[in-house]
Chains A and B, each alone.
Chain A
């Protein structure tokens, strides 16, 4: 799920071309949600496990990345269980888990650079209508890079709030976080300029 987490390795999954991985991933997703049956979910889950062991990424690594999904999967299971019955609820939630698990495997075994390259290659045909593939890649990379930075800012703000005894104030969290994020964006822009991004 969260990028910036490449696990180095030399397995088949690591060496396969990115476009192939993305294509297979797409095909599997379509299959998964097209059939939405217990069999496909089980097959998918088996595939995730096989992928884990082949790539040497480890089930735990993938598992940790799926954990945040529990926040909405648990209520979803309950709701779906009531609305459409327990079997279909489990199949739906299972499909979601398998889908994210497969996607996680791809991100864990692919360098961001290669992933970005693939996206750039895919956007290249759009150049005639004014899309700049390099700009697209840069925006994606900056997004990936900014997630941990903003997360760190959030931690700082939270600690500052605690130190000043305003733990419960939402405003004491949101306002400084926003200010710091905007200031960070400002500095980032300056750094991009210094590194010659718009210099052609």
Chain B
């Protein structure tokens, strides 16, 4: 058959009573405990301790501050050199697959994230091994594409989409698995103002818990909490008003 929908146990697709009520049961807790991370000699994160359980969390910081690494800790893409990361009690070091099923990740460059040649296939790729039949997969894919305004592009080659549409596709492919948390690493950096607004509005409406790494301070102004990272350390961690003021002061 295919990369899509061969047997196996269901994954990423769980029935959720809370869904009708307008979202997952509640934000889960992601605990970063005394984490230090090095790439070779270079220390990118230094003694970071964070407990993230808000619905909307922003992460800001200069280029090379370690905020991308911080984001990658949350789904086990990066396992820390020292310390540990627990997502809803699961250690990313030992339960990586289980964590990734609950934490969806959106990258900056959608071209690297879209792995299948056409739009619908890329969304369907996320549903492989969910135990869904071909028809069920197709149905879910169609519904997801419709929800994010890509229905008319289902059979189009992914490379013919505009930059904004590509990022929407990347988002769709992640959200079709219904993760509990969505971590986005600068998802709007490559987009124009209009597409940035569209992606921001979309993130705003999600029932999921969202961790958004960004340089666009406006995007996180309405969030519950903003973490400011500088040279591998958390230098501010507060409500957006306070945290963003601290960040602006930091960058002068």
Please report A residues at the B interface, Cβ cutoff 8 Å.
Answer: 3-6, 8, 111-113, 116-117, 120-121, 134, 137-138, 141-142, 144-145, 148-149, 152, 184, 187-188, 190-196, 199-200
Contact = CB atoms under 8 A, between A and B. Distances in A.
Nearest to A187: B112
B175 to A, nearest CB: 12
Nearest to B128: A134
Interface of B: 1-4, 6, 11-12, 75, 77, 96-97, 100-101, 104-105, 107, 109, 111-118, 121, 124-126, 128, 155, 157-159, 173-174
B3 A137 contact: yes
B159 A194 contact: no
Given A5-B157, A137-B2, A187-B109, A145 B97 contact: no
| From A120, A121, A141, A184, residue with most partner B Cβ within 10 Å | A141
B6 A191 contact: no
Contacts of A134: 3, 6, 128
A200 B58 CA distance: 31
A5 B156 CA distance: 8
Given A120-B1, A148-B157, A200-B97, A188 B112 contact: yes
Nearest to A135: B3
Contacts of B126: 195
B159 to A, nearest CB: 4
- Chief secondary structure at chain A's binding surface: helix
A139 to B, nearest CB: 10
A68 to B, nearest CB: 18
Contact of B77 (A4, A120, A137, A190): A190
Nearest 3 Cβ contacts at the A-B interface: A199-B97, A148-B159, A187-B112
Contacts of A144: 117
A8 B6 CA distance: 25
A142 to B, nearest CB: 6
29 contacts: A3-B117, A4-B117, A6-B155, A8-B155, A111-B118, A111-B155, A112-B116, A113-B2, A113-B118, A113-B124, A120-B1, A120-B2, A134-B3, A134-B128, A141-B3, A144-B117, A145-B116, A148-B159, A152-B111, A187-B109, A187-B112, A187-B113, A190-B112, A191-B112, A193-B77, A194-B107, A195-B115, A196-B100, A200-B97
Contacts of B3: 116, 120, 134, 137-138, 141
Contacts of B109: 187
A117 B3 CA distance: 8
A141 B107 contact: no
Contact of A196 (B101, B111, B112): B101
B155 A196 contact: no
B112 to A, nearest CB: 4
A145 B166 CA distance: 13
A134 B128 CA distance: 10
A141 B100 contact: no
B2 A112 contact: no
Contacts of A194: 75, 77, 100, 104-105, 107, 113
Given A3-B117, A141-B116, A149 B111 contact: yes
A196 B11 contact: yes
Given A6-B155, A196-B12, 4 more contacts: A3-B117, A112-B118, A134-B6, A193-B100
Contacts of A148: 157, 159
B157 A192 contact: no
Nearest to A136: B3
Given A187-B107, A187-B109, A112 B121 contact: yes
Nearest to A196: B100
A4 to B, nearest CB: 4
| From B2, B96, B125, residue with most partner A Cβ within 10 Å | B2
A141 B117 contact: yes
Contact of B107 (A4, A142, A190, A199): A190
A121 B107 CA distance: 33
Contacts of A113: 2, 4, 116, 118, 121, 124
